[in-house]
Amino acid sequence: MLLGVEMFGIGGNVNGATIEGRVAGLKNGSKIYLLDNSAQTKVDSATLAGGKFGFRLANDYPDRAFLSIDGKRYPFIKEQGKIVVVVDLVGDGTFTVSGTETNNRIKALNDGLAGYNGQLKELNSKLSALRSEGNGKTPVFDSLYAVYQSVYEKRSEQTAQTVRESANTIFAAYQLNNNAYSLTTPQMVDSVLTIVGSAPANAFTDKLKERRAILAATAIGQPALDFTQERPDGTPFTFSSLKGKLVLIDFWASWCGPCRAENPNVVKTYNRFREHGFEIVGVSLDNDRDKWLKAIEKDGLAWVHVSDLQYWNNAVSKSYGVNAIPHTVLVDQNGIIIAKDLRGRKLTEKIAEILGVEAGDE
């Protein structure tokens, strides 16, 4: 259990972590909330007194957590030791976390990247101005964008170098887990886990291993994972009921621009092959039922649709390791995954090949 401590000093030896915080620009008596690693659940609270607050986190397991201060959320790594948090709501709005190894390493990296971040912010502002003026396809824009890419690559390389130099630490696991969305095969995760190596047990390494397990279970050649979710009318649909057909699982959402742009091609493909044993199951990452249904109708998506309306926490998308949409999984008549992320003409040609029919005109 986490206990809010309404004072700055927390004395004695504590088997866990302590947070000692200072806040400028917030009236005494204000509540400070400790949130879980999803920043959704309030775990504990403390009261600001003399501009200071504190928490005691007994027997914690290294993971990300958040502080909610004056309605804003501030991330930190909870781990053994004294974590010092300083928030300035008066001046430049700075927020710093230090005191423990991982938080110190993150602060040092952020300090080292500050120059790049400033350049990227300024360049992005200039690029946005050119776009708004209708100059998004000019030599000036292209030249400025090339500079932006160069700075971004330098920033990324400095981050990568820092991680390489921090092998076998929780910091390395934290940084690599932040980019887990780019890991698309078990082999890629394996290479990342070698950098984490013998780091102390922590939630970030656990999540990387979980990512690897999901990718292995949903790799090409593996049986498709069965699932049941509700259709728009509220009735349950079970994926395995389509066994014997060639099925495309299409992860999408009404708010996803690239998904909506691809929908006309998917509609054309569906109409071309539906009479030959082809089916589509659209798994939506929406969280607004009305927008979901309107998009289905507007785009003419006449196939099976399911969703739990949990946005990125959609249970099916999580079980399939989906970290970006649109994302497709093609499952053959025996229920085996045979391809992923097919779009456009490649999708049409693959389906035609499997079904042994003509692909038709583009």
pLDDT the model gives residue 58: 73
Looking at the chain, the domain(s) classified CATH 2.60.40 span: 2-99
* Entry pTM: 0.81
Query: For residues 330 and 91, what is the distance between their CA atoms, to the nearest angstrom?
Result: 53
Q: Phi and psi of 201, rounded to 5°?
A: -55, 135
3-state secondary structure of 44: strand
Q: From edge to edge, which strands make up the β-sheet containing 16-24?
A: 2-5, 52-58, 16-24, 81-88, 95-98
Give whole-number Cα distances, 20 to 5, 8, 46, 53, 64, in Å.
Answer: 9, 6, 11, 6, 17
Residue pair 238/226 in contact (Cβ under 8 Å)? The answer is yes
Burial label, 83 (beta-carbon count in 10 A; 0-12, 13-18, 19+): buried
pLDDT the model gives residue 14: 44
pLDDT the model gives residue 15: 57
Query: For residues 97 and 87, what is the distance between their CA atoms, to the nearest angstrom?
Result: 9
Q: Which CATH number fits domain 2-99: 1.10.3470, 2.60.40, 2.20.28, 3.30.420?
A: 2.60.40
Reading the block at residue 189, the tokens are: 């995760």
Looking at the chain, the domain(s) classified CATH 3.40.30.10 span: 228-355
Residue with tokens 């309107």: 294
User: What CATH number is given for 228-355 in this structure?
Assistant: 3.40.30.10
Query: For residues 218 and 336, what is the distance between their CA atoms, to the nearest angstrom?
Result: 10
Q: Could you tell me the mean pLDDT of each successive run of 10 residues in the chain, 362 residues long?
A: 38 66 95 89 94 88 93 93 94 88 96 94 93 86 94 94 95 93 90 94 95 95 97 96 96 96 95 95 97 97 97 95 94 96 91 84 57
